Amino acid sequence: MRRALREAQKAEAQGEVPVGAVVVQGEKVIARGHNRPLGLSDPSAHAEILALRRAAKKLGNYRLKGCDLYVTIEPCAMCAGAIIQARLRRVVYGTPDPKAGACGSALAVLNHPKVNHQVEVVSGVLAEECAAILRQFFHKRRHKVSGAGRQVSGAKTRRPTKVRSGGQGPVTRPEPPVPSP
């Protein structure tokens, strides 16, 4: 997990959300990755996906049987799907993701009873360190200040209002930002 944390630090240094992942076969790290969706202009460039791609290329097979994935945060649904397709043996993650985690926090994609491959899941490994790097990143992002001394991100905004539209369910209409005093 410490190697995954080092990968997360690389992501942070590049302005990406600090998530890191490593694929291990036996006792050997065979691939690593860190978040790069911004840098690669690729919404699928999550740390887990990049590490899985590199491991598959190294082994010459997209099936990574017997391999384990260590990742600093609970994988999302997209990454969980890739983990299942890769046939990983185990996923070890640091901190849960209550908004998008697909190992049980928000969704239960891994080990869903209808899925044809079951993955051992271990959570909470170096959880505080994994959570801290994310907290610090988002704290800095929310409190970033421009050269003029005005807050760049984290400006106060109204929540979107939900509006019903002719039987098609709720539609979200964003409200304009509230001006700062």
Which residue numbers are catalytic? 48
Burial class (CB in 10 A: 0-12, 13-18, 19+), 147: exposed
What kind and span of H or E run contains 136?
A: helix 127-142
Q: Is 88 helix (H, G, I), strand (E, B) or coil?
A: coil
The CA distance from 100 to 74, in Å, is 8
- Asked if residue 133 lies in contact with residue 17, where contact means CB atoms within 8 angstroms, the answer is no
Q: Is 56 helix (H, G, I), strand (E, B) or coil?
A: helix
Phi, psi (rounded to 5 degrees) for 142: -70, -30
